């Protein structure tokens, strides 16, 4: 009952995606991501390789207790070992134990991998494919066959490669997924080979012909293009991962692929109302796997619809089509007017609107703000990446920045001078102790507070002292944590006397905000940014609470 132009999205973030260097998922992480993908309307979610590690087995067990709402969760496994009956193979047994409706089984398409990797002969590999699938079918499973190294295999020995697909079809595979495992293919090669396979399938005159799928890697920066071209040649399953996570250079990025397919080519991949959850899903997954989101990611990145420059901004406001390939809200993203020294009054107006602040173009404050902005950017401030600081600046000009606390100053003392022996060595293993002491003076409700704290380095000491002083008044501060800290030296010709610009990013687990500090003194610049980051977080939290209260009362 699926529409003519239906494509099936197959997510492998939990299996192939987790092969990315530096990414590791707990069972809990995997469950969270699976439920989020289920909400997004992804029809197939590859959960892992049961038996390959204990986590994956637990994941399937837990999902049996609390099943997903609509998605098929799929177990992944390899063909049986050479010369071993399928019914006695441990990896097949583990895949069956996951008790999923669908199993994805991968086999070798490339003769080189059969002889050099598996160290068996070509006909045994065909039996391995046939036997494994037939056994899974006997046990009631539906089978997706991943033809590993398909394209390299086909280019090297097309006759043999086609025989591997034949074995899978005879055994009852319902999907044949053509894999560019090494990520080396170019789009015109994918077009030619998928077309050939599709035509060959047609010549078989099968009653229930298997469908084709595509699985691509990004080693040539072409994973999205290669998947797209395969879809245009008739592949109806598209495999990929959220944010393109995966081994080496990653897998095909579903966050780009899905909108390309659905918004530009008219395929039906996700329920239309779900597509607007894409940007949030991308960010959610990056939070769960604890990797910084790529701000420049197509469609879903923070900068994907960011505009700078006055004329440019006024054009995009009059007609978004002039500088935007799609409507950002279609994928749940937003247009961002970037504040920079090229800013005109249009930028200021657009920013005020996005902050939910009322500001009229004729209000003299608008022009004063623009002047102030240009002046500060001349000094070396940069608000392009520090929107929270800019919002505070704007609120101040509009008398909408309540005083949470006032900063009076700080002292920092830092000692790296033990007795007798050198401490400056390449291996900073001696640095695990706190070596810095900070004292801060802040005022809340007109009352001066003096607090001191230690830290591993002066910036940490300052952060600790500041929280110590403020947490009695604002216990919600503990929800904020620093997620990024960037330092740049301006006017580098001035050497150590140059100005330092610090950008600090905070998060409360849901939202992120960035503030800026500037000073010739790196500690002061850091302190400014941290102070504003905490202030902004408090301000946002309070306004949310207030909005909720108003909503309840009305």
Please, which of residues 205-234 interact with a copy of itself by CB under 8 A?
Answer: 218-222, 224-225, 228-229, 232
Please state whether beta strands 500-507 and 481-489 pair in parallel, antiparallel, or not at all (unpaired): antiparallel
Residues 6+ apart with CB under 8 A from 317: 346, 350
- Asked if residue 359 binds a copy of itself (CB under 8 A), the reply is no
Which of 177, 525 has the CB closer to a copy of itself?
525
What string of DSSP letters covers 525-544?
HHHHHHHHHHHHHHHHHHHH
Q: Which is nearer to a copy of itself, 141 or 464 (CB)?
A: 464
Q: What is the spatial distance between Cα 253 and Cα 245, in angstroms, rounded to a whole number?
A: 7
409 binds a copy of itself, rule: CB under 8 A: yes
- DSSP calls for 306-368: EE-SHHHHHHHHH-GGGT-SS-GGGGT---EEPPSTT--HHHHHHHHHHTT----TTSHHHHH
311 binds a copy of itself (CB under 8 A): yes
Q: Are 51 and 90 in contact (CB under 8 A)?
A: yes
In the complex with a copy of itself, which residue's Cβ is closer, 363 or 483? 483
266 binds a copy of itself (CB under 8 A): no
Q: Is 66 in the site for a copy of itself (CB under 8 A)?
A: no
239 binds a copy of itself (CB under 8 A): no
Closer by beta carbon to a copy of itself, 60 or else 405? 405
Alpha helices in 10-121, H assignment, sequence order: 27-40, 54-65, 90-97, 111-112
In terms of CB distance, is 171 or 523 closer to a copy of itself?
A: 523
The verdict on 299 binding a copy of itself (CB under 8 A) reads yes
| Candidates 7-15, 89-97, 135-143, 295-303; binding stretch for a copy of itself (CB under 8 A) | 295-303
90 binds a copy of itself (CB under 8 A): no
Residue 174 or 505: the one with the smaller Cβ distance to a copy of itself is: 505
If binding is defined by CB under 8 A, does position 446 make contact with a copy of itself?
A: no
Q: How far apart are the C-alpha atoms of 32 and 490, rounded to whole Å?
A: 42
Among 2, 70, 322, 371, binds a copy of itself (CB under 8 A): 322
H or E element at residue 522: helix 522-553
User: Is residue 410 within the footprint of a copy of itself (CB under 8 A)?
Assistant: yes
Dihedral (CA of 215, 220, 221, 227) sign: negative
> Any residues with CB less than 8 A from the CB of 486 and at least 6 apart, and which?
502, 503, 504
Binding residues among 155-214 for a copy of itself as defined by CB under 8 A: 181-184, 186-188
CB-neighbour burial class of residue 49 (10 A; exposed 0-12, middle 13-18, buried 19+): buried
Site for a copy of itself in 523-552 (CB under 8 A): 523-524, 526-528, 530-531
Instruction: Show contacts with a copy of itself in window 102-141 (CB under 8 A).
Output: 110, 112-113, 116-117
Number of residues that bind a copy of itself (CB under 8 A): 133
């Amino acid at each position: 009952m699926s529409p003519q132009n239906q494509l099936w999205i197959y997510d492998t973030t939990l299996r192939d995606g987790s092969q990315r260097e530096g990414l590791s998922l707990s069972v809990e992480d995997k469950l969270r991501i699976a439920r989020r993908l289920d909400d997004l309307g992804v029809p197939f979610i590859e959960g892992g390789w049961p038996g390959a590690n204990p986590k994956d087995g637990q994941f399937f067990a837990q999902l049996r207790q609390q099943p997903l709402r609509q998605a098929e969760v799929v177990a992944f496994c390899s063909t049986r070992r050479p010369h071993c009956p399928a019914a006695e193979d441990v990896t097949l047994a583990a895949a069956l134990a996951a008790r999923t409706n669908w199993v994805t089984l991968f086999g070798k398409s490339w003769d080189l991998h059969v002889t050099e990797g598996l160290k068996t002969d070509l006909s045994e590999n065909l039996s391995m494919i046939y036997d494994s699938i037939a056994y899974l079918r006997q046990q009631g499973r539906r089978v997706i066959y991943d033809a590993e190294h398909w394209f390299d295999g086909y280019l090297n020995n097309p006759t043999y490669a086609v025989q591997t697909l034949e074995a899978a079809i005879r055994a009852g595979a319902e999907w044949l997924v053509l894999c560019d495992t090494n990520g080396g293919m170019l789009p015109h090669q994918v077009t030619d080979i998928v077309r050939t396979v599709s035509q060959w399938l047609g010549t078989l005159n099968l009653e229930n012909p298997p469908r084709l799928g595509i699985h691509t890697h990004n080693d040539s920066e072409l994973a999205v293009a290669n998947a797209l071209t395969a879809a245009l040649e008739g592949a109806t399953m598209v495999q990929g991962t959220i944010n393109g996570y995966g081994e080496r250079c990653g897998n095909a990025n579903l966050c780009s692929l899905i909108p390309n397919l659905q918004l530009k080519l008219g395929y039906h991949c996700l329920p239309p109302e779900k597509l607007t959850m894409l940007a949030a899903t991308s960010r959610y997954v990056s939070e769960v796997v604890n990797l910084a989101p790529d701000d420049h990611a197509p469609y879903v990145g923070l900068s994907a619809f960011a505009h700078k420059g006055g004329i440019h901004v006024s054009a995009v406001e009059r007609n978004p089509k002039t500088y935007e390939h799609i409507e950002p809200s279609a994928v749940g993203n937003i247009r961002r007017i970037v504040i920079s020294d090229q800013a005109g009054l249009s930028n200021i107006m657009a920013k005020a609107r996005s902050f939910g602040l009322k500001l009229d173009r004729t209000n003299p404050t608008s022009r004063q703000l623009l002047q102030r902005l240009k002046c500060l950017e001349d000094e070396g401030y940069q608000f392009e990446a520090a929107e929270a600081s800019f919002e505070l600046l704007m609120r101040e000009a509009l008398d909408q920045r309540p005083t949470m606390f006032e900063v009076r100053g700080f002292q920092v003392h830092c000692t790296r001078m033990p007795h007798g022996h050198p401490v400056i060595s390449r291996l900073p293993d001696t640095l695990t102790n706190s070596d810095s002491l900070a004292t801060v003076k802040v005022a809340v409700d007109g009352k001066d507070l003096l607090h001191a704290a230690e830290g591993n380095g002066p910036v940490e000491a300052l952060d600790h002292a500041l929280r110590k002083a403020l947490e009695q008044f604002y216990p919600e501060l503990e929800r904020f944590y620093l997620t990024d800290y960037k330092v740049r030296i301006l006017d580098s010709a001035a050497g150590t006397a140059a100005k330092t610009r610090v950008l600090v990013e905070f998060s409360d687990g849901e939202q992120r905000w960035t503030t800026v500090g500037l000073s010739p003194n790196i500690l002061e610049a850091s302190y400014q940014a941290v102070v504003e980051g905490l202030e902004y977080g408090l301000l946002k939290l309070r306004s949310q609470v207030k909005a909720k209260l108003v909503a309840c009362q009305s």
